[in-house]
A and B are shown apart, each in its own frame.
Chain A
Amino acid sequence: MNMRGANLLTLEGMSRDSLLDVLDTAESFFEVNQRTVKKVPALKGRVVASLFFEESTRTRLSFETAAKRLGADVVSLAVASSSVKKGESLRDTITTIDALGLDAVVLRHRSSGAALQVSRYVPHVRVINAGDGQHQHPTQGLLDAFTVRQILAERHGVTGSESGSSLFEGLRVLIVGDIRHSRVARSDIAAYSALGAEVRVAAPGTLLPNSLEGWPVTVAKDFDEALAWADVVGLLRLQHERGSGSYVPSLSEFTTTFGLTRARASLLKPEVIVMHPGPMNRGVEIDSLVADLPQSVITRQVANGVPVRMAVLYLSLAEKKEIA
């Protein structure tokens, strides 16, 4: 699957070349974001609708900022004050917005597969999945991979695009926490493994999916050992709204067994990269002090969200439209 001129629904099945195409393009937009005038007219006259049926701070702001920095117009639906509250169906909402003239929809929805469904309702509109239920959060996977490559490239004194995927070869990535409910985990695993990294997951048995068949991961037998093994540690948020709380005996038990506590942080490699997609439950999956260590790149992840989403919108929308 190539990102150019296409929808972005999932990272599953996306090739290494397509991922690198997004990361390299994001690098050029990272430079745009360093300028005094952080804006280019690449998508001038295009209309991007931002439809968030589920709460979000960083993803929504990041997508809307990205679209505006590309010169696109953004129409944004505040679900709480819209007809959705009167019971309008997703299909009717999309059709209504489409009638206003749209080039792309950025969709966040609590149902897995919602983005795919919307792409069928409006085949002439590009659909960008900003998180669908427990399925995928592709731009988070992309910005995590972008952030890791950027940091490793800096250490090697090269640019990310010069390094291609070489810095991911043999890279040890540990993803910790609520794998079962996490769309971020699914997108991260797809991105890291396609780029050549070795991915391990660590979680209480109840927070692993029922089957890991077909997942390019191994399960860590010992969490402490896996922390010492990892070059990158990706923590996940315990998702109360998806009922994660009932999968663990108590929050403090989860923190004791799988939280990145201050004591466990001493097991990490000195050059480790600690990531979290936010919002953090400080004191649950990550100790508050650990979250603020220099090895933690959480605010950098947020900052990189804008150039990565600019790349996604640009590649999806600016490529010549195929005549169907």
Chain B
Amino acid sequence: MTQHEDRQDRQRGLAFVVKSQLLSADDVSRAMKRMAHEVIERNQGLDGLSVVGIQRGGVAIAEQLSATLSAIGQVAVPVSALDVTYYRDDIGAHPLKDAAMTTLRDDLTNRTVVLVDDVLFTGRTIRAALAALGDWGRPTAVQLAVLVDRGHRELPIRPDYVGKNLPTSRSETVRATLDGVWLGTGVSS
């Protein structure tokens, strides 16, 4: 989170308040390993695989997934960050979010992309990410891995790999990191 956003959120009194912890760091670590094995099983190996994490919450998770895949398969799996701020469909409807850096440089044509995010909610971030990925070529396939699926989809989007399915109410907030998963209220990032 940038200082700017942080400042804005504090002014609005929207800081994240924890209600309960749902997964520990160990739970997350086990879920990540399971997802890595599922990725390998589904793709029958790691050939032509690229991992892309969505800024900001998905990047650390993507890096961990790529490291786990590389360790299991004994080949380097490329990982990069994608910021989808400029592809969102709600620009002009909310105060602007600060964009983060995109480090994706490779042509994704004929690659299989595993798109990674921390929390899957309405699906609008994923729609924006799919629109963005099109600017890097035409992947053979795009698969979606999320640490938490909290439901409430507004678009026909489903994940391929899920760390944890979590029924939530719309007003709640989920914070999902490699250190654990928490349920709370306010803005999490």
Contact = CB atoms under 8 A, between A and B. Distances in A.
A41 B98 contact: no
A28 B83 CA distance: 9
Nearest to A46: B92
Contacts of A24: 2, 98
A314 B92 CA distance: 10
Contacts, number: 54
B131 A319 contact: no
Contact of A21 (B4, B91, B101, B107): B4
Given A41-B86, A41-B131, A319 B96 contact: yes
B86 A320 contact: no
A320 B99 contact: no
Given A28-B99, A32-B86, A41-B86, A321 B135 contact: no
Nearest to A25: B99
Nearest to B95: A320
Contacts of A321: 92
B100 interface: yes
Contacts of B107: 36
Interface residues of B, number: 22
A43 B88 CA distance: 10
Interface residues of A, number: 25
B102 interface: yes
A36 B94 contact: no
Nearest to A28: B99
A159 B99 CA distance: 14
A66 B25 CA distance: 44
B87 interface: yes
Contacts of B94: 320
Contacts of A41: 86-87, 131
B135 A37 contact: yes
A203 interface: no
30 contacts: A4-B96, A17-B4, A21-B4, A24-B2, A28-B100, A28-B101, A28-B102, A31-B101, A31-B102, A32-B102, A36-B107, A37-B135, A39-B135, A40-B86, A40-B87, A41-B87, A42-B85, A42-B86, A70-B86, A159-B101, A317-B92, A318-B92, A318-B96, A319-B92, A319-B96, A320-B92, A320-B93, A320-B94, A320-B95, A321-B92
Given A4-B95, A315-B96, A319-B96, 12 more contacts: A4-B96, A17-B4, A25-B98, A28-B100, A40-B86, A40-B87, A40-B132, A42-B87, A42-B91, A317-B92, A320-B92, A320-B95
